Structure 1
Amino acid sequence: MTPFTQRTRAMMMRTARQAALAGVLLASAVTAMAQADSPVGTWQTIDDHTGQPKALVQITQDSSGALDGKVIKGLGPNDQPERRCTACTDARKDQLILGMTIINDMKKVDDGWDDGQILDPENGKIYKCKMHLEDGGQKLVVRGYIGVSLLGRSQTWIRQQ
């Protein structure tokens, strides 16, 4: 191999490595941007009474663009995987809370998501729900309410990586 061919080959290898690195960086940037404007992902909920982590909820998007959220892990000190929603009055009555869908049919509206429902498995009540992202997509403010959103309460959930 001539010196010219060796230099050309080395330059092509460096260029290929740089292109691969640029692709990885671009993919990371796209993922970060997607996280900043979508609640799809895993969220840590916080107990209203103790202020301690309570559960992990996985939010997914269906083919119509609506969001749903499912409990994937309990985090409380007294959490038992066999806990059931004994207070639920719908089809979730006596079902395991772990694996239960507690957020249904959230639709993108302006800067947030609205028109869906959220279940509080502690009391079995179903509330209207709206949510929006804060802190560059790292916090999700979830508001459950009856009638109008002024009559409700909000929780701030923390994005998990």
Structure 2
Amino acid sequence: MKTLLAIFLLVLSGQLFAQGIEGTWKTIDDETGEAKSLIEVWFDGKKYQGKIIELLDPKEENPICTACEGVQKDQPILGMQIIFDAKKYGSKYKKGEILDPGNGKLYSLVMELENDNELKVRGFIGFALLGRTQVWHRVVDTKTTN
């Protein structure tokens, strides 16, 4: 009985302390393998959202989203929200959307932690067969406070 209780507590503590997707993530382009940007993901009390907080080696200074539609048309990509309204379902975060500022299109979204420091992000149209998957890497703040 004590062994069963110890196993239960160990599993429960792992669940309680497992990291979620909130935080800063470095995006890696699935086609080139290059780091592209830093994305901040947060929980707004109901759903998960995300925005671009840094562009890594941009090809132009202060790029705008000329391909976007609606309110994001011709807006700066830096600071732009790209993850909208994802909800947690078990180990996955889905039923939201992700914007690709490169082509201005919104895609259905599924995200899942591969481990504490890798987030698999899939954007797709219609069925999940038509889309792209990237693995993002958690950015850990190495600054220490005294």
Normalising by structure 1, we get a TM-score of 0.74
How many Å apart are 1:34 and its aligned residue? 4.2
2:130 to 127, 131, 151: 151
Q: Which runs of 4+ in 1 moved over 3 A?
A: none
Percent of paired sites with the same residue: 47
Ranges in structure 2 where 5+ consecutive residues have no aligned partner: 1-12, 141-146
SS in structure 1 of the partner of residue 45 of structure 2: coil
1:86 to 66, 87, 90: 66
- 1:41 and 1:70 map into 2 onto residues whose CA distance is 11
SS in structure 2 of the partner of residue 149 of structure 1: coil
Aligned partner of 1:117 in structure 2 is 97
Q: Retained in 1: the 8 A contact 2:30–2:133?
A: no
Ranges in structure 1 where 5+ consecutive residues have no aligned partner: 1-28
How many Å apart are 1:77 and its aligned residue? 5.1
Q: Retained in 2: the 8 A contact 1:115–1:129?
A: yes
SS in structure 2 of the partner of residue 60 of structure 1: strand
1:71 to 24, 39, 52: 52
Aligned partner of 2:21 in structure 1 is 39
**What is the identity, as a one-letter code, of the residue corresponding to 1:71?**
I
Give 1 or 2 for the bigger CA radius of gyration: 1
Aligned partner of 1:22 in structure 2 is none
Normalized per residue, the structure richer in helix is: 1
**What is the identity, as a one-letter code, of the residue corresponding to 1:50?**
T
1:76-105: per-residue Cα shift (whole Å, max 9, x none)? 35252x100000012100000000000000
SS in structure 2 of the partner of residue 91 of structure 1: helix
**What is the identity, as a one-letter code, of the residue corresponding to 2:80?**
M
- 2:126 and 2:31 map into 1 onto residues whose CA distance is 24
1:133-160: per-residue Cα shift (whole Å, max 9, x none)? 012x210000000011121110000000
Aligned residues: 127
SS in structure 1 of the partner of residue 75 of structure 2: coil
CA RMSD of superposed structures (Å): 1.8
Normalized per residue, the structure richer in strand is: 2
Aligned partner of 2:7 in structure 1 is none
- 1:123 and 1:60 map into 2 onto residues whose CA distance is 24
Say whether 1:50 aligns with 2:32.
yes
